[in-house]
């Protein structure tokens, strides 16, 4: 793991470019309904203040513990917990177990949606115009 | 019953039994297989018992209820020893006469002898009757000689001697014999048993299983039932030899629940074998231990497929799985397992006792030994026949089977059960062995052989078998489950004279998908009846779709029943018997069938004594 | 010891316990599947993952999902023969599930637009292709509330004796993974109805929205290491609450 994903709320203007970038990148799949389902969400927390919420990639993750089919696996290279779509049995326990609400079970796809750091080069960070999301060494 | 501690003691027991019951003593063997039982053979046994007691002959003459003799058509069968005289279709009323005239007086009762249809020639001895004369009965022979419920009877004819010999030879040498004999699986696949045994023997681990497949499901087939009913110890002995060779400690017989008599006799045989120390711990003092459990099947045809059968024993849904891994590698409860069918197991003791060289002297180059068939359908002598591999279909149908009854013409013979293929008259000289039948689009199967005459519609027949397999498909693979269902609907259309010639192409295409893309042998062979009938009887299919005509006059949508006014005497019989009351007419005046109401059941045709009903 | 196989003419090294499908996908070769999941037993039910396999001089079609690799195996994934029989199987499935977009789209790839096949038995569940993926998923989850019943064309999927199953927890995994989405599942704010049974939801402590069924939570607590208080709040509230907490810490 060479770089760490860093969130800098004080730089965030709430423009939601990150959400858009995420939806676009993750909507490559041809099944309907994926576009518009970003894995990052912007919450207003006060006047002109915003908080970017996305998966914390917990080391000892509740979602991984709850999954009955070993469909959530740690990518050693990026440090991200990734969904193995070929293993997911669709029970939704990951969503129920994550204490932070960062993994959502999508009923259209029958799969959980979560941030996987785009394999090490997250689109949200690339497209953030204000350096509010960064990959730092 | 004392346990036998050694092969020496087994030999001594045999000598004692033979001394008590010499082979040339008087005996009455009454067939008590399921077929003859249906004709009342159990009552016959009781009648003989009473009569012998009444005459004070019960000590002198042995009364022996036996397993199936094969000639079921003529049951109940009574075989009289030592002459080997066969009385057929014997009734309880005949018993006093038989005891009085034949047993006491040595006189032959002509009326009870077999009379050849056509020639009227009578035969006194079983061995001279054409049905038996052309057979080569290795496995079935003992059926007439022993009471299946008596282990002593089996020991008296040399039973369990092969097991003793196997213990002396050691597992490697036994395997060598089975391989050398080139014994191929009698359950249908024809896979060399020795190769299977070797693979299982080679697997590491102490826990191995062997299974006897007695889930005989082909319609009209009863080879395995008759062996288990008539000679259960041969199967047990074969299994113990197999277990010893492969190092298995536990075995299962998976047998149909619908075979109550076979089950009863098998359980009795297992009990007696245990009491005699021929099953259980330390068999014949060899230190080798092995026991057999009985598992009853629930009537699913697909459970005859080995991987489905194994799942069924495990208590799961009987669905085949992909092989490899083969049962020899990963079978029952995930352990190395060898599975053979009843006939294969029953052949093993013969090979061990008489040697591979003797066995390979019978049969063809690649198919050795004999095979039992259940010869049924439109043939004079129906029953169980055991033939050497390589005999022609013609010899089976005409020499053993006595040809087609009623002077009708032979049309086809179907071998290999519901998923076998139909062979036309031009193929009658084919050699009956594993490879020749497969090459012709039929198969050996477990030994079903159905003869058809000109009154059989081949399209209707194909539809029947597809219907059977459609219901018996486990339903796992799309291709088998839906493909057969689809083919069935299309065949219904053909039988109704609907559709065009393209329908035939479509049926062939679906059949091909069923054949190549299904998981197990049920699916991959299910299209055989359709493909083989289209191949050999295409003209019949064409007559249905192109001319709307059923040449065999079977398909109801394409036939009409009419009454010939010139021949009809106006007797009213047909009108009275018509279930739909759709025949009108007055007494002594020609009748007429009202076509709208006719369900084409054919009752009028059957009851008319004046040949006035025609079907077109 | 690794085995050597060829996929579409390209040499590949594979582990003996791998399936043909795994090796193909690993090497970027696409094989369609409908009833396959890596986490459940592969039964080869749908037959769309058929490939042509050459081994020991014998060529045959086999399903790739449940075929283990063997040394010297040559696999072709897209021959005319493969396409023809995938198409035929898809036509049959389209006959069972004419409303399934997934089947329709896949069938279209093989030139099948409409199906001439009409099943002769009325289906117990319209649109069901009888692949038993739901059954296998339910078994993998430790519930085994579903089973295939009967044989041949009469086969259908149901609960034991067609009565509400005691082991069903209402998780809905069966419905989520069904390739044709034919399993009826009706959610209200408080309850979920599936397989003839109505389950109460655990309601979010904050907003009252459904979190999961009560039965699923009980099963999860019994079988997994996370305690019950992990399963109290809905996903939206959890994220919103956390955002608020972060903001407070930040200021």
All residues at 6 or more sequence positions from B155 whose CB lies less than 8 Å from its CB, including other chains: B10, B13, B14, B17
Q: What is the pLDDT of residue B602?
A: 87
Does the beta-carbon distance from C239 to A101 stay under 8 Å? yes
Does the beta-carbon distance from C88 to B479 stay under 8 Å? yes
Question: C 129-148 residues with CB below 8 A of A?
Answer: 137, 140-142
B305 touches C at CB < 8 Å:
no
Q: By three-state DSSP, how is residue C247 classified? A: helix
Q: Inform me whether the pLDDT recorded for B457 exceeds 70.
A: yes
Q: By three-state DSSP, how is residue B563 classified? A: strand
Q: Inform me whether the pLDDT recorded for A35 exceeds 80.
A: no
Question: Residue B615 phi/psi, 5° resolution?
Answer: -125, 130
A37 touches C at CB < 8 Å:
no
Least confident segment among A87-101, B425-439, B584-598, C186-200? B584-598
| C149–chain A nearest CA distance, Å | 22
Q: Average pLDDT, whole number, for chain B?
A: 93
- Among the residues of B355-500, which ranges form H helices? 356-360, 393-394, 434-439, 458-472, 478-495
pLDDT tens, position by position, C30-46: 999 999 999 999 999 99
Chain C touching partners, 3 or more CB pairs below 8 A: A, B
Question: Residue A5 phi/psi, 5° resolution?
Answer: -80, 125
Question: Residue A18 phi/psi, 5° resolution?
Answer: -60, -45
Cα dihedral B515, B520, B525, B530, rounded to 10, equals -60
B363 bridge partner residues: B368
In this complex, whether A and B touch, counting 3 or more CB pairs under 8 angstroms, is no
Q: Inform me whether the pLDDT recorded for A24 exceeds 90.
A: no
| Look-up of token digits 């080679």 | B202
Q: Inform me whether the pLDDT recorded for A30 exceeds 50.
A: no
All residues at 6 or more sequence positions from C208 whose CB lies less than 8 Å from its CB, including other chains: C189
Question: Which stretch of DSSP H or E encloses residue C185?
Answer: strand C185-187
Q: Inform me whether the pLDDT recorded for A29 exceeds 60.
A: no
Q: Inform me whether the pLDDT recorded for C248 exceeds 90.
A: no
Distance CA C37, CA C15 (A): 19
Decide: residue C87, CB within 10 A, 0-12 exposed, 13-18 middle, 19+ buried: middle
All residues at 6 or more sequence positions from B220 whose CB lies less than 8 Å from its CB, including other chains: B374, B376, B377, B448, B450
Please, are residues B142 and B157 in contact by the beta-carbon 8 Å criterion?
yes
What is the band of C250 on the pLDDT scale with cuts at 50, 70, 90? low
Does the beta-carbon distance from C176 to A90 stay under 8 Å? yes
Question: Residue B198 phi/psi, 5° resolution?
Answer: -65, -45
Strands (DSSP E) contained in B342-479 are 370-377, 383-388, 410-415, 421-424, 448-453
Q: What is the pLDDT of residue B75?
A: 86
Strands C58-63 and C50-55, by their bridges, are antiparallel
Q: What is the pLDDT of residue A1?
A: 62
C51 bridge partner residues: C62
What is the band of B420 on the pLDDT scale with cuts at 50, 70, 90? confident
Structure token pair of residue B211:
């299974």
Decide: residue B49, CB within 10 A, 0-12 exposed, 13-18 middle, 19+ buried: middle
A33 touches C at CB < 8 Å:
no
Of B300, B482, B509, Cβ closest to residue C151: B300
| C79–chain A nearest CA distance, Å | 25
CA terminus-to-terminus distance, chain B: 68
Does the beta-carbon distance from B517 to C148 stay under 8 Å? no
Does the beta-carbon distance from B476 to C45 stay under 8 Å? yes
User: How far is CA B597 from each of CA B89, B564, B612, B616, rounded to the nearest angstrom?
Assistant: 42, 18, 19, 17
What is the band of A36 on the pLDDT scale with cuts at 50, 70, 90? low
pLDDT tens, position by position, B258-283: 999 999 999 999 999 999 999 999 99
pLDDT, average across residues B341-358 = 96
Under DSSP, the state recorded for B268 is H
Residues shown for chain A:
137
Does the beta-carbon distance from C246 to A9 stay under 8 Å? yes
Least confident segment among B301-305, B610-614, C126-130? B610-614
pLDDT, average across residues B57-63 = 91
C243 touches A at CB < 8 Å:
yes
pLDDT tens, position by position, B69-106: 999 989 899 999 998 999 999 999 999 999 999 999 88
Q: By three-state DSSP, how is residue A39 classified? A: coil
Please, are residues A55 and A74 in contact by the beta-carbon 8 Å criterion?
no
Structure token pair of residue A131:
């350096």
| A137–chain C nearest CA distance, Å | 23
pLDDT, average across residues B537-561 = 92
Please, are residues A36 and A59 in contact by the beta-carbon 8 Å criterion?
no
C226 touches A at CB < 8 Å:
yes
| B474–chain C nearest CA distance, Å | 5
All residues at 6 or more sequence positions from B282 whose CB lies less than 8 Å from its CB, including other chains: B288, B289
pLDDT, average across residues B271-297 = 96
pLDDT, average across residues B222-249 = 96
pLDDT tens, position by position, B461-482: 999 999 999 999 999 999 999 9
Decide: residue B468, CB within 10 A, 0-12 exposed, 13-18 middle, 19+ buried: buried
Does the beta-carbon distance from C137 to A101 stay under 8 Å? no
Q: Inform me whether the pLDDT recorded for A33 exceeds 60.
A: no
CA-wise closest residue to C93 among C114, C77, C62: C114
Residue B480: closest C-alpha in chain C: C152
Q: Inform me whether the pLDDT recorded for B500 exceeds 90.
A: no
B214 bridge partner residues: B255
Task: Please state the ipTM of this predicted complex.
Answer: 0.95
Output Rg (C-alpha) for chain B, integer angstroms: 26
Residue B510: closest C-alpha in chain C: C88
Q: What is the pLDDT of residue C251?
A: 62
Please, are residues B195 and B2 in contact by the beta-carbon 8 Å criterion?
no
CA-wise closest residue to B126 among B176, B177, B66, B170: B66
Structure token pair of residue A8:
């800098």
Strands B250-256 and B291-297, by their bridges, are parallel
Number of H helices, E strands in chain C: 7, 11
Of C66, C84, C117, Cβ closest to residue B482: C117
Structure token pair of residue C2:
């690794």
B500 touches C at CB < 8 Å:
no
Q: Inform me whether the pLDDT recorded for C212 exceeds 80.
A: yes
CA-wise closest residue to B568 among B536, B600, B591, B540: B591
What is the band of A46 on the pLDDT scale with cuts at 50, 70, 90? confident
pLDDT, average across residues C114-126 = 95
The CA angle B303-B308-B313, to the nearest 5 degrees, is 85
Q: What is the pLDDT of residue B343?
A: 96
A102 touches C at CB < 8 Å:
yes
Does the beta-carbon distance from B322 to C66 stay under 8 Å? yes
pLDDT, average across residues B198-223 = 93
Q: Inform me whether the pLDDT recorded for C5 exceeds 80.
A: yes
Under DSSP, the state recorded for B125 is B
pLDDT tens, position by position, C146-176: 999 999 999 999 999 999 999 999 999 999 9
* List of chain C residues whose C-beta atoms are within 8 Å of the C-beta of residue A6: none
Decide: residue B182, CB within 10 A, 0-12 exposed, 13-18 middle, 19+ buried: buried
Decide: residue B609, CB within 10 A, 0-12 exposed, 13-18 middle, 19+ buried: exposed
How crowded is residue B169: how many other Cβ atoms within 10 Å of its Cβ? 18
- Among the residues of B55-97, which ranges form H helices? 95-97
Distance CA B226, CA B233 (A): 13
């Amino acid at each position: 793991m060479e770089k760490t994903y860093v969130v800098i709320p004080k730089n965030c203007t709430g423009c939601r470019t990150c959400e858009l970038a995420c939806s676009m990148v993750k909507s490559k799949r041809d099944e309907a309904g994926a576009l518009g389902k970003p894995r990052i969400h912007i919450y207003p927390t006060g006047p002109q203040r915003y908080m970017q919420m996305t998966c914390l990639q917990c080391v000892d993750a509740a979602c991984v513990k709850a999954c009955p089919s070993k469909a959530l696996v740690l990518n050693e290279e990026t440090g991200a917990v990734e969904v193995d779509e070929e293993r997911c049995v669709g029970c939704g326990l990951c969503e129920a177990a994550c204490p932070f609400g960062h993994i959502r079970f999508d009923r259209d796809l029958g799969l959980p949606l979560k941030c996987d750091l785009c394999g090490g080069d997250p689109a949200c960070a690339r497209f953030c115009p204000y350096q509010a999301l960064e990959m730092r060494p | 019953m004392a346990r036998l501690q050694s092969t020496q003691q087994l030999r001594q027991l045999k000598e004692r039994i033979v001394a008590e019951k010499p082979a040339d003593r008087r005996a009455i063997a009454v067939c008590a297989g399921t077929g003859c039982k249906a004709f009342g053979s159990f009552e016959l046994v009781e009648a003989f018992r009473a009569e012998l007691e009444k005459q004070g002959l019960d000590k002198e003459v042995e009364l022996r209820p036996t397993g199936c003799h094969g000639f079921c058509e003529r049951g109940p069968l009574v075989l009289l020893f030592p002459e080997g005289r066969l009385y057929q279709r014997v009734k309880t009323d005949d018993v006093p006469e038989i005891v009085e005239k034949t047993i006491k007086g040595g006189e032959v009762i002509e009326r009870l002898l077999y009379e050849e249809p056509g020639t009227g020639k009578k035969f006194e001895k079983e061995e001279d009757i054409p049905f038996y004369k052309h057979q080569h009965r290795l496995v079935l022979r003992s059926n007439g000689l022993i009471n299946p419920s008596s282990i002593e009877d089996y020991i008296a004819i040399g039973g369990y001697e092969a097991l003793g010999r196997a213990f002396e030879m050691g597992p490697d040498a036994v395997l060598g014999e089975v391989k050398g004999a080139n014994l191929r699986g009698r359950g249908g696949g024809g896979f060399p048993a020795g190769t299977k045994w070797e693979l299982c023997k080679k697997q590491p681990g102490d826990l191995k299983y062997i299974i006897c497949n007695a889930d005989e499901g082909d319609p009209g087939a009863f080879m395995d039932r008759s062996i288990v009913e008539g000679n259960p110890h041969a199967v047990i002995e074969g299994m113990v030899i197999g277990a010893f060779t492969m190092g298995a400690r536990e075995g299962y017989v998976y047998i149909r629940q619908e075979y109550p008599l076979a089950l009863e006799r098998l359980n009795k045989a297992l009990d007696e074998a245990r009491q005699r120390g021929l099953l259980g711990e330390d068999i014949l003092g060899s230190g080798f231990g092995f026991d057999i459990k009985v598992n009853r099947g629930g009537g699913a045809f697909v459970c005859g497929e080995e991987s489905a059968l194994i799942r069924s024993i495990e208590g799961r849904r009987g669905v085949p799985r992909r092989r490899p891994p083969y049962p020899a590698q990963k079978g029952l409860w995930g352990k190395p397992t060898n599975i053979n069918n009843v006939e294969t197991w029953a052949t093993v003791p013969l090979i061990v006792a008489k040697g591979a060289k003797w066995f390979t002297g019978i049969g063809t180059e690649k198919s050795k030994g004999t095979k039992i068939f259940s010869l049924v359908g439109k043939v004079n002598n129906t029953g169980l026949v055991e033939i050497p591999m390589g005999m022609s279909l013609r010899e089976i149908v005409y020499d053993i089977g006595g040809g087609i009854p009623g002077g009708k013409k032979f049309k086809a013979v179907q071998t290999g059960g519901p998923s076998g293929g139909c062979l036309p008259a031009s193929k009658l000289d084919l050699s009956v062995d594993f490879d020749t039948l497969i090459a012709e689009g039929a198969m050996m199967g477990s030994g079903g052989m159905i003869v058809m005459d000109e009154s059989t519609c081949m399209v209707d027949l194909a539809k029947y078998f597809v219907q059977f397999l459609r219901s018996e498909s486990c339903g796992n693979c799309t291709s088998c489950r839906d493909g057969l269902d689809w083919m069935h609907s299309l065949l219904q259309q053909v039988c109704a004279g609907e559709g065009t010639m393209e329908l035939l192409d479509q049926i062939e295409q679906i059949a091909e998908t069923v054949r190549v893309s299904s998981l197990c042998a049920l699916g991959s062979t299910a299209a055989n009846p359709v493909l083989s009938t289209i191949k050999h009887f295409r003209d019949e299919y064409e007559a249905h779709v192109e001319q709307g005509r059923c040449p065999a006059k079977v398909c109801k949508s394409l036939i009409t029943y009419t009454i010939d006014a010139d021949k009809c005497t106006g007797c009213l019989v047909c009108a009275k018997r018509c279930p739909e009351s759709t025949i009108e007419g007055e007494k002594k005046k020609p009748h007429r069938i009202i076509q709208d109401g006719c369900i084409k059941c054919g009752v009028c045709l059957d009851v008319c004594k004046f040949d006035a009903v025609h079907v077109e | 010891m690794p085995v050597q196989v060829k996929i579409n003419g390209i040499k590949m090294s594979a582990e003996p316990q791998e399936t043909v499908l795994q090796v193909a996908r690993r090497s970027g070769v696409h094989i369609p599947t409908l009833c396959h999941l890596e986490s459940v037993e592969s039964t080869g039910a749908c037959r769309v993952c058929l490939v042509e396999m050459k081994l020991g001089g014998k060529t045959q079609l086999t399903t790739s999902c449940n075929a283990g690799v063997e040394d010297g195996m040559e696999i072709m994934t897209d021959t005319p023969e493969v396409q023809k029989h995938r198409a035929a199987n898809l036509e049959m499935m389209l006959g069972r599930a004419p409303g399934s977009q997934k089947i329709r789209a896949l069938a279209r790839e093989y030139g099948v637009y409409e199906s001439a096949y009409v099943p002769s038995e009325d289906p117990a569940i319209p649109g069901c292709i009888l692949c038993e993926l739901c059954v296998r998923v339910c078994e993998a989850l430790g519930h085994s509330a579903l089973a295939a019943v009967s044989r041949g064309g009469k086969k259908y999927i149901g609960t034991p004796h067609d009565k509400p199953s005691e082991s069903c927890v209402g998780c809905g995994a069966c419905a989520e993974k069904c390739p044709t989405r034919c399993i009826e599942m009706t959610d209200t704010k408080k309850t979920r109805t599936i397989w003839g049974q109505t389950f109460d939801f655990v309601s979010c402590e904050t907003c009252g929205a459904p979190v999961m069924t009560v039965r699923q939570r009980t099963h999860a607590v019994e079988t997994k290491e996370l305690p019950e208080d992990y399963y109290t709040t809905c996903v939206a509230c959890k994220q919103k609450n956390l955002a608020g907490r972060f903001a407070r810490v930040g200021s």
